[in-house]
Structure 1
């Protein structure tokens, strides 16, 4: 086919351009005039627009927040949204993280897969359409985001100033097509502790986890006890009975309990082993006199326990498109005066925020908990018969020869930040996900395969 042949012609230039931009360390940094996300991110945006200009596209830089390359005419436009910022490289690299070196058919470097490589690939896919002078009725914009890894504030800046695309995709997910993304809430559940812990065992603190969207792999508690030996013995018996990985020791005037769990992403809490849940189960079985902190622990053990779908809490929602609600307790901070839980609840794509929060609020009235710092992302969902889904499905099946199974996920992609966008590639089914890891890479063959798919997709959406 004409498009595929043209991709083969330009593939060397495309690979070189990807290497150029991978070599820029575009980790968000201190704001500077005209560079809201720092020097490195600004350099990457300048380079992307420079490449786009050399390819013959009209380019726009919106005050350093976001840029785009545009081709074609028409009132409406098709948007392709990707990002140039990356997470820090970390340690453990076999090859330089900003070297863009090619070894055994793979290009290594931070951003090769997430998301510099794929968004530059779509730029060359649009060049194919331009060079072939294929007839399109809509403009096409390749939009270069700069803050996806730290909150996507640049897209709000774009949305406040620009019209939304009528159709489009982000090459920042998985194939075949992610047509549904659960609604995501992150918030703190807070309560003042007025009736203090007292008696033979006193809870001084409980600390576990770091973020709401990660299953905590460690939780620690400090107890004061009149009979330390007896309490330590009880802790060890409870731990052995429940098969918990616990370390207990005396330190100064406290008994320190450390519980180890297994971390997992907040969208799949069932894959982890929550150290906070284990700690509360353990504390609930100790003979601690009634107080506000024990009321919280009892409440937690009754209505959360080890469940990750909100069943005991009364929020067990489910649909056929995306499955069960997920309920993750990401962190706890309990002192003698106050307790705060960091929660991450993700609800099914066809349901509403109130379907989850009404029963949730009813449950927490029992202990007069307060909800603070609520952050809510609505679900993303496109029916199977939506024109965007039908067109991308057609392209994927024609280009790969495989059935385009639609995916609904608990995580969130860049698609949620702009209207009429879904995640479409670049990771093929069965391929390992190396994003955010040391030795992130993309196969050279997959760059070329993606370029062909994306060129066909852009043409299908814009023709």
Structure 2
């Protein structure tokens, strides 16, 4: 059967299977986890569904690895190299009240298929599965074997792939179809820096401003959208005027309530993913910038100045002294994600650091401690070392060529500050199924898949998998 004939004849079956997969609530559920369902019933049910499709369609080489991952294989069993196509069937949680329809009842409106996981990444899952199905009968001619490797914990700890690699080994080359149809051949390293310092003792017998508390952020990889602070001994009338003017000047919102000598601040920024901090407004650094104008005692004044003047809008670590730029991977990216000050306790700022090849989180910690001696900087790796595949590698050049061959347009290379399963293979890239210019709704309310992508994406994936299967 020709490529086009397969694509046309299998559209309805693909859509039916995709709806079945989307109907599974595969959010991680640790409360109901056990040995048979390590990440809860939902992720395991989605894995079982994928393997059931394979059994139905005559794939005779499949496997389940500790109920955490699975695989479907074609090509020569004794091939020296394995092409990995790494996907995941787990999804992120939903705020059901924000959706216009049930997130686990797939709904088609026009050319969009709405459901949780439609964009990230069950739409891609079924596209690559059907591409593998299209190649099954000709796979005996391949040089390399091809494995569709199905994960169930990508949205959390990646323990699925750790277990799979321990049992089955790591693929030599391949891609993860997660995101856009650009070739992400470089992904920055990801680490955390804990910046620890002293706070002052609680003193209420002086008239100078006293910082009682300052909190923002729940996760280091998210730009804080809200920051709060409690301050004693500010002039009530003056600070109200100052704060409202600051909010207006900065184009943000907030509130200030006062009770006795205490002023309680709430400042609303704009929360985005920590990989693109320059697209958001960090509520913590804005609030610190405002408060730093007042005459606090030395410890609080120093801390607020650091947060409000050093870290404020320091998206690339330059003011902090850890800004690194490389030709292949661009700039270090920095997000102050969790901030905690409580009078009488140790103050802490947790930074999310995304860095290029040639740098290291421990070097970053040393540089910060040297520049700011009053800070103790500690580095914690995230198990995500930088990944860089040469732009001249045949994996990269093949994918770029095939995209142009199918669409008549150029795609491009990209350096990602995020993380995909593509980085887990020595010659791996991220290469998704959303076309350039299409909106991403991953992790958002009313998430959807672009149904018009089916035909062109299938052509690209069938040819891409075949090309990688024939590489040396």
Residues 87 and 151 of structure 2 are in contact (CA less than 8 Å); yes or no, is this contact kept in structure 1?
yes
Alignment partners' CA distance in 2, 1:378 and 1:211: 20
Matched ranges for 1:180-195 at <5 A: 180-193=186-199
Query: Counterpart of 1:455?
Result: 462
Residues 225 and 231 of structure 1 are in contact (CA less than 8 Å); yes or no, is this contact kept in structure 2?
no
1:68 equivalent among 66, 71, 92: 71
Residues 368 and 377 of structure 2 are in contact (CA less than 8 Å); yes or no, is this contact kept in structure 1?
no
Describe the superposition over 1:44-90 as per-residue Cα deviations: whole angstroms up to 9, x where unpaired. 11111010111111210012110011112123211111000011232
Alignment partners' CA distance in 2, 1:399 and 1:405: 15
Query: Counterpart of 2:232?
Result: 224
Is residue 247 from structure 1 mapped to residue 255 from structure 2 by the alignment? yes
Query: Counterpart of 2:273?
Result: 265
Q: CA deviation at 1:22?
A: 1.1
Q: CA deviation at 1:447?
A: 2.3
Alignment partners' CA distance in 2, 1:301 and 1:108: 41
Q: CA deviation at 1:197?
A: 6.0
Alignment partners' CA distance in 2, 1:392 and 1:175: 10
Query: Counterpart of 2:53?
Result: 51
Alignment partners' CA distance in 2, 1:426 and 1:17: 17
Residues 369 and 375 of structure 2 are in contact (CA less than 8 Å); yes or no, is this contact kept in structure 1?
no
Q: CA deviation at 1:352?
A: 4.8
Q: Secondary structure at the match of 1:367?
A: coil
Q: Secondary structure at the match of 1:438?
A: coil
Alignment partners' CA distance in 2, 1:197 and 1:181: 48
Query: Counterpart of 1:325?
Result: 332
Describe the superposition over 1:90-120 as per-residue Cα deviations: whole angstroms up to 9, x where unpaired. 2333343222233323222112221122122
Change (3 A) 1:376 1:140: closer
Is residue 280 from structure 1 mapped to residue 288 from structure 2 by the alignment? yes
Q: Secondary structure at the match of 1:173?
A: coil
1:39 equivalent among 38, 41, 56: 41
Alignment partners' CA distance in 2, 1:447 and 1:350: 40
Alignment partners' CA distance in 2, 1:186 and 1:72: 41
- Of residues 49-58 and 407-416 in structure 1, the stretch that sits farther from structure 2 once superposed is 407-416
Describe the superposition over 1:353-405 as per-residue Cα deviations: whole angstroms up to 9, x where unpaired. 466444234224x1142426543521121111012111211211211111131
Q: CA deviation at 1:146?
A: 0.1
Alignment partners' CA distance in 1, 2:63 and 2:428: 21
Alignment partners' CA distance in 2, 1:145 and 1:407: 24
Query: Counterpart of 2:11?
Result: 11
- Of residues 25-34 and 182-191 in structure 1, the stretch that sits farther from structure 2 once superposed is 182-191
Q: CA deviation at 1:143?
A: 0.7
2:401 equivalent among 372, 375, 394: 394
Change (3 A) 1:304 1:346: same
1:77 equivalent among 75, 82, 93: 82
Residues 361 and 381 of structure 2 are in contact (CA less than 8 Å); yes or no, is this contact kept in structure 1?
no
- Of residues 411-420 and 307-316 in structure 1, the stretch that sits farther from structure 2 once superposed is 411-420
Residues 111 and 440 of structure 1 are in contact (CA less than 8 Å); yes or no, is this contact kept in structure 2?
yes
Change (3 A) 1:243 1:121: closer
Matched ranges for 1:154-165 at <5 A: 154-165=160-171
Residues 197 and 289 of structure 1 are in contact (CA less than 8 Å); yes or no, is this contact kept in structure 2?
no
2:214 equivalent among 195, 198, 206: 206
Alignment partners' CA distance in 2, 1:319 and 1:34: 45
Change (3 A) 1:186 1:2: same
Number of residue pairs aligned between Structure 1 and Structure 2: 461
Alignment partners' CA distance in 2, 1:242 and 1:136: 59
Q: Secondary structure at the match of 1:330?
A: strand
Alignment partners' CA distance in 1, 2:198 and 2:284: 19
Residues 332 and 340 of structure 1 are in contact (CA less than 8 Å); yes or no, is this contact kept in structure 2?
yes
Aligned alpha-carbon RMSD (Å): 2.4
Query: Counterpart of 2:113?
Result: 107
So what's the TM-score if we normalise by structure 1? 0.92
Alignment partners' CA distance in 2, 1:120 and 1:6: 15
Alignment partners' CA distance in 2, 1:157 and 1:16: 31
Change (3 A) 1:413 1:234: same
Q: CA deviation at 1:430?
A: 0.4
Q: Secondary structure at the match of 1:343?
A: strand
Describe the superposition over 1:321-363 as per-residue Cα deviations: whole angstroms up to 9, x where unpaired. 3432222111211001221112112123565546644423422
So what's the TM-score if we normalise by structure 2? 0.90
Change (3 A) 1:132 1:8: farther
Q: Secondary structure at the match of 1:388?
A: helix
Residues 197 and 203 of structure 1 are in contact (CA less than 8 Å); yes or no, is this contact kept in structure 2?
no
Q: CA deviation at 1:240?
A: 6.4
Change (3 A) 1:133 1:61: closer
Q: CA deviation at 1:253?
A: 4.9
